[in-house]
């Protein structure tokens, strides 16, 4: 891994004038991007969407038409360069992130990039280096679980020491369905990447090794696909994290995390919606259909933090290093799927 270069002098922040709204370009307005456009336009204060871009022109037109004052820019790089843009939200697919994030850095624009930061370790590291050379933090990565009230509470339990030393983390990540092309690599880079960040966020240390057990596959998966899989991480200090990733359950969105400490354990994700209790002494809840329903409030909180910070010319959330660390673990995870071996995570030096 290449050595990092030293940060040069700090440049002036590209904050908007006091009291002015942050003018945002949104690149990629599929499921996630369209939800963020709605958030910026109606639920979040201090920002407005001025430019919309999508590979699919009709999609861009449709979303721009729903926002007063927004226009379409057909080329994502032209959208980033537009004079009426102070900040960029990237919600295009992962493989497009590298070029788009680098263009934002070149213009020194604050950027909220949906996870994953990029889809390979070298490009993610180059981004970390490029940002460090600017001498200021411009990149926030869309790990929205850090803004979810249940994850925040779990982190507080760790910090307060109420559970004692955290020993293990057990995660479940199930989606009702995904596109047919969503293979094992996507399951790691696009889905498991959330648990990688959750583990780093809750435990406050890096992941050292990754192992993947494939097991029996659901008949919903195309021939040759491994779904579900069990991913096992070991942290630098030797804590174990398990993650069941199952993206074609046909049921709903189930995201649960149990933290096991020396003094007790805590589980989140069991009762996000209505918990029904019956006279028969049984309990049960309703499963949210998808990530928007489960994490809607967290996405908006993430956006509000980003907007507030971007107006001041900084970030307030997971940054490029967090994005890079997660990509590095996923890179090892993809290798673990391919080889069946326990793979050591390789990470560059933090600038």
Ligand X SMILES: NC(=O)C1=CN([C@@H]2O[C@H](COP(=O)(O)OP(=O)(O)OC[C@H]3O[C@@H](n4cnc5c(N)ncnc54)[C@H](O)[C@@H]3O)[C@@H](O)[C@H]2O)C=CC1
Ligand Y SMILES: O=C1[C@@H](O)[C@H](O)[C@@H](O)[C@H](O)[C@H]1O
Which residues lie near ligand X (CB under 6 A)? 27-33, 53-56, 59, 76, 91-94, 96, 114-115, 142, 144, 190, 291
Burial of 195 (0-12, 13-18, 19+ CB in 10 A): buried
| Among ligand Y, ligand X, none, residue 191 binds (CB under 5-8 Å by kind) | ligand Y
Strands (E), 82-202: 87-90, 111-113, 139-141, 166-174
Backbone angles phi, psi at 144, to 5 degrees: -70, -15
Which pair of tokens denotes residue 149?
């009230």
Element (H, E) at 47: strand 47-53
| Among ligand X, ligand Y, none, residue 142 binds (CB under 5-8 Å by kind) | ligand X
Task: Render 120-153 in DSSP notation, one character per residue.
Answer: SHHHHHHHHHHHHHHTS--EEE--GGGGSHHHHH
How many residues lie near ligand Y (CB under 6 A)? 7
Asked if 291 is part of the footprint of ligand Y (rule: CB under 6 A), the reply reads yes
Asked if 34 is part of the footprint of ligand Y (rule: CB under 6 A), the reply reads no
- Residue with Cβ nearer ligand X (33 or 348): 33
| Among ligand X, ligand Y, none, residue 300 binds (CB under 5-8 Å by kind) | none
- Residue with Cβ nearer ligand Y (77 or 178): 178
Rounded to a whole number of angstroms, the minimum distance from the CB of residue 243 to ligand X is 15
- Residue with Cβ nearer ligand Y (50 or 92): 92
Asked if 304 is part of the footprint of ligand Y (rule: CB under 6 A), the reply reads no
| CB neighbours of residue 9 within 10 Å | 6
Asked if 257 is part of the footprint of ligand Y (rule: CB under 6 A), the reply reads no
Q: Which residue's CB atom is positioned nearest to ligand X? A: 30
| CB neighbours of residue 164 within 10 Å | 13
- Residue with Cβ nearer ligand Y (80 or 255): 255
Rounded Cα distance, 159 and 157, in Å: 6
Query: Alpha-carbon dihedral of residues 72, 113, 126, 128, nearest 10 degrees?
Result: 140
- Residue with Cβ nearer ligand Y (86 or 243): 243
Rounded to a whole number of angstroms, the minimum distance from the CB of residue 20 to ligand Y is 32
| CB neighbours of residue 276 within 10 Å | 11
- Residue with Cβ nearer ligand X (239 or 301): 301
- Here's the x/- map for ligand Y, 172-191, by CB under 6 A: it reads as ---x--x-----------xx
Rounded to a whole number of angstroms, the minimum distance from the CB of residue 294 to ligand Y is 8
| Among ligand Y, ligand X, none, residue 91 binds (CB under 5-8 Å by kind) | ligand X
- Residue with Cβ nearer ligand Y (172 or 235): 172
Asked if 247 is part of the footprint of ligand Y (rule: CB under 6 A), the reply reads yes
> If we measure between CA atoms, which residue out of 84, 14, 21, 99 comes closest to residue 52?
84
Which pair of tokens denotes residue 343?
């793979």
Rounded Cα distance, 284 and 196, in Å: 28
**Chain contacts with ligand Y (rule: CB under 6 A):** 175, 178, 190-191, 194, 247, 291
């Amino acid at each position: 891994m290449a050595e990092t270069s030293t940060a040069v002098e700090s440049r002036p922040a590209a904050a908007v004038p006091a009291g002015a709204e942050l003018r945002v370009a949104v690149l990629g307005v599929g499921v996630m991007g369209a939800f963020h456009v709605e958030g910026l336009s109606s639920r979040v204060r201090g920002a407005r969407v001025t430019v919309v871009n999508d590979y699919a022109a009709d999609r861009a037109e449709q979303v721009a038409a729903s926002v007063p004052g927004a226009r379409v820019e057909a080329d994502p790089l032209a959208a980033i360069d537009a004079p009426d843009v102070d900040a960029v939200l990237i919600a295009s697919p992962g493989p497009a992130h590298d070029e788009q994030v680098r263009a934002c850095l070149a213009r020194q624009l604050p950027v909220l990039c949906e996870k994953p930061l990029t889809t390979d370790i070298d490009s993610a590291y180059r981004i970390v280096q490029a940002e460090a050379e600017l001498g200021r933090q411009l990149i926030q990565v869309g790990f929205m679980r850090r803004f979810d009230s249940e994850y925040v509470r779990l982190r507080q339990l760790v910090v307060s020491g109420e559970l004692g030393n955290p020993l293990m983390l057990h995660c479940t990540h199930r989606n009702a369905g995904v596109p047919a092309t969503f293979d094992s690599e996507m399951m790691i880079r696009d889905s498991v990447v959330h648990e990688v960040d959750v583990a780093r966020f809750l435990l406050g240390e890096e992941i050292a090794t990754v192992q993947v057990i494939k097991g029996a596959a659901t008949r919903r998966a195309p021939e040759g696909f491994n779904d579900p899989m069990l991913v096992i991480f070991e942290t630098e200090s030797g804590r174990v994290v398990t993650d069941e990733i199952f993206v074609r359950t046909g049921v709903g969105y189930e995201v649960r995390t149990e933290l096991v400490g020396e003094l007790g354990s805590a589980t989140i994700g069991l009762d996000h919606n209505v918990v029904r209790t019956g006279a028969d002494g049984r309990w049960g809840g309703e499963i949210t259909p998808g990530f928007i329903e489960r994490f809607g409030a967290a996405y908006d909180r993430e956006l509000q933090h980003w907007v507030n910070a971007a107006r001041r010319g900084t970030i307030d959330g997971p940054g490029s290093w967090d994005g890079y660390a997660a990509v590095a673990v996923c890179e090892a995870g993809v290798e673990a799927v391919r080889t069946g071996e326990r793979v050591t995570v390789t990470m560059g030096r933090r600038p």
